[in-house]
Chains A and B, each alone.
Chain A
Amino acid sequence: MRADEDVLHGLMVDGLGGDAAAHAALLRLLVPVLRGFYRRRANGADDDIEDLVQETLIAVHVRRATYDRERAFTAWLFAIARYKMVDHFRRVRRLHPIEGLEEVLLAEDFEPAAAARLDVEELLAILPTKQADMIRATRLNGLSVAEAAKAGGIGESDVKVSVHRGLKALMARIQGGAR
């Protein structure tokens, strides 16, 4: 059985009517839904994810009176799941929200990336302007040769030759500096 809104809503309504089998079926269907929900949003050991899934199942069971039969079941479920996740992060520091982690990684990567960019600009400064501009356009800014030619007002073969010569000069310079 696929766990979609209509199926879950129907089981929930039956469960609220006192049908224990429907309630059990609902909770069973929610397990993969919640695992998916937490795996997409939280980075943690499977045990932590499973703890969250179980806490949420208990909350769905204990607080099922707050479900309004006229409203979407999944909205209600995910509101509980989201609350449980935030509460879990606050309590247990083992799990990290992936969104937060991304920001941390971005911040960590920024500095070396910025430094590398500065190095490249320093190297490009020793080249003739045309070669430097064409390398910037095709290799750093991601333009195609045709686009770079149009932007620079020169021929396509001129662009290719400039880039080639420029890169060759840079290679010689870097290797010469390394020796």
Chain B
Amino acid sequence: MNTEDLIAQLSQDVPPVRRRAVGRRLAIGIALGSLVSAVLVALVLGIRPDLGLAMRGATFWMKWSYTFSLAIAAVVMVVQLARPDSARLRWTWLLAIPVTLLAVLGIAELARTPPAEWLAMWLGNSWMVCPWLVLALAMPIFIGLLWSFRRLAPTRLRAAGAAAGLAAGAFAAMVYCIHCPEVSAIFVLTWYSLGILLAASLGALLGPRLLRW
């Protein structure tokens, strides 16, 4: 096609773009994906029966604060990597804050517990399935982010894929909290984080292939 014709054709469709368009598009992708994950939890895994009671306790909010702050830190990275001129990634150290805080909490918890119960506390009842469920619930959110990226312009595809996987994993872990009855900080620190890391690794693996444009 002639370049002049191409320009004429492209210029037919010039909708206004809002200032926070990148963030808005990412938010829509994440929200739709999280909704699908939440429905999956409700239908397949089941919402924990004592959710109303648990939401009045500190443990539930400890889990949500951890996963939510990880998710925010990951989204900060995704927003940067969604633009083509993302030469230097900033604010990556934000990820260290929730991990450090939860680790401190976990150590305090261990100090209060007799060593004989440590293993049971660490493994809980669901350590074998928890990371895999988080990874599975991350898939709809990751797909939502792939949709967001169709109008965005990442140039570092592996990094963008990893950040998208991290964000998807962290939001998935948040959704998973409405099912999971585990209470200990070291359980969350190990097995939730492992699921989130699996999602980030998968994102890094698939990024170069799925995010090409």
Render B51-89 as a binary contact track against A, CB cut-off 8 A, 1 for contact.
000000000000000000000000000000011110000
Cα-based distance from A59 to B151 in the complex (angstroms): 9
Render A38-53 as a binary contact track against B, CB cut-off 8 A, 1 for contact.
0000000000001001
- Chain A residues, CB < 8 A from B12: 20
- On whether the beta carbons of B11 and A80 are closer than 8 Å, the reply is no
Stretch from A21-29, A122-130, A132-140, A147-155 at the B interface: A21-29
Cα-based distance from A153 to B19 in the complex (angstroms): 74
Cα-based distance from A95 to B201 in the complex (angstroms): 33
The SS class assigned to the A binding surface is helix
Query: B120 an interface residue at 8 Å Cβ cutoff?
Result: no
Render A1-37 as a binary contact track against B, CB cut-off 8 A, 1 for contact.
0000000000000011111110110011001000000
Closest Cβ neighbor of A17 among chain B residues:
B16
Least Cβ–Cβ distance between B189 and chain A, in angstroms = 35
Question: Which of A15, A16, A53, A82 lies at the interface centre, i.e. has the most chain B CB atoms within 10 A of its CB?
Answer: A16
Task: Pick the 6 closest A-B CB pairs, nearest first.
Answer: A18-B16, A24-B11, A79-B84, A65-B21, A63-B153, A20-B14
Interface of A toward B, CB cutoff 8 Å: 15-21, 23-24, 27-28, 31, 50, 53-54, 57-59, 61-66, 68-69, 71, 75-76, 79-80, 82-83, 87
Interface of B toward A, CB cutoff 8 Å: 1, 3-4, 6-8, 10-12, 14-17, 19, 21-22, 25, 82-85, 151-153, 155, 212-213
26 examples of A-B residue contacts, CB within 8 angstroms: A16-B16, A18-B16, A19-B14, A20-B11, A20-B12, A24-B7, A24-B8, A53-B3, A54-B3, A57-B3, A57-B7, A59-B153, A61-B10, A63-B151, A63-B152, A65-B22, A66-B83, A66-B151, A75-B85, A76-B83, A76-B84, A79-B84, A79-B155, A83-B84, A83-B153, A83-B155
